[in-house]
């Protein structure tokens, strides 16, 4: 029994150390490419908005979605990007993140001609790799919240994409705490995906031009 307790305790400590080291690596490797202000961010031809649901489980508007859309709008209106890719999950005709993002941007005043939809951004890795391999972009501004920005940049660096992030505001509530905890676990999993499992996007296909669909 004592040996079992030592084994369990040692395993827990090892996992905790790996968790901490993974998060420190991801953040330190990318933090200099995270921007909080439109005025200070360098120009990129294309912005990539990473998808999330426009509604919470209770049906109310999702502030993560709303803030990403507002950030994308401000980035485009400031002249810091010329085109926007909205990438997300398209699991059914009742759940379509890219269409929801496009509609929200058009409602804010952006022309549909500057928006391209990526329907196969099932996860962060898929969205970023497809941005390069399908849409031909090796330099991009990513739009997401701060907690998510480091992992998105870490994946971009692995694939030799010259990326920066303009962070969208985070809601100050239990919602932020919940996703931050999840992100702490997602970062070591991203390292495993990239360096151990060599995970590829679920869907690739032929190259596509940047235009409205």
Listing from the earlier edge strand, what are the strands of the sheet with 139-145?
A: 34-35, 162-168, 139-145, 46-50, 83-87, 115-118
* Rounded CA separation 79/81 (Å): 6
In the predicted structure, residue 153 carries a pLDDT above the cut 90: yes
Lowest mean pLDDT among 1-5, 73-77, 144-148, 153-157: 1-5
- Which pLDDT does position 213 carry in this prediction? 44
Q: Kindly report the number of other CB atoms within 10 A of residue 111's CB atom.
A: 10
pLDDT tens per residue across span 96-118: 999 999 999 999 999 999 999 99
- Which pLDDT does position 94 carry in this prediction? 79
Domains and CATH numbers, the chain: 2-196 (3.40.50.620)
- Which pLDDT does position 12 carry in this prediction? 86
- Which pLDDT does position 211 carry in this prediction? 67
Percentage above 90 pLDDT, the chain: 83
Q: What is the pTM of this model?
A: 0.94
Find out whether 133 and 127 touch, Cβ atoms under 8 Å. Answer: no
What's the number of CA atoms in the CB half-sphere (13 Å) around residue 3?
A: 0
**Residue 8's pLDDT band (cuts 50, 70, 90):** confident
């Amino acid at each position: 029994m004592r040996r079992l307790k030592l084994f369990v305790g040692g395993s827990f400590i090892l996992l905790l150390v790996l968790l901490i080291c993974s998060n420190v690596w991801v953040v330190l490797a990318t933090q200099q490419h995270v921007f909080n202000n439109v005025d200070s961010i360098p120009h990129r031809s294309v912005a990539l908005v990473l998808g999330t649901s426009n509604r919470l489980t209770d049906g109310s508007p999702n502030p993560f979605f709303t803030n990403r859309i507002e950030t994308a709008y401000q980035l485009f209106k400031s002249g810091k990007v010329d085109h926007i890719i909205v990438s997300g999950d398209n699991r059914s005709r009742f759940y379509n993140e890219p269409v929801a993002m496009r509609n929200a941007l058009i409602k804010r005043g952006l022309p549909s001609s500057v928006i391209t939809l990526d329907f196969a951004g099932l996860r962060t890795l898929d969205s970023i790799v497809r941005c390069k391999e399908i849409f031909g972009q090796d330099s991009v501004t990513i739009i997401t919240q701060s907690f998510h920005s480091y992992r998105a940049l870490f994946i971009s660096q692995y694939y030799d994409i010259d990326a920066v992030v303009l962070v969208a505001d985070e809601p100050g509530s239990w919602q932020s705490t919940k996703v931050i905890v999840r992100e702490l676990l997602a970062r070591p999993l991203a390292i495993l995906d990239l360096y151990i499992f060599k995970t590829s996007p679920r869907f690739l296909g032929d190259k596509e031009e940047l235009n409205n669909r």
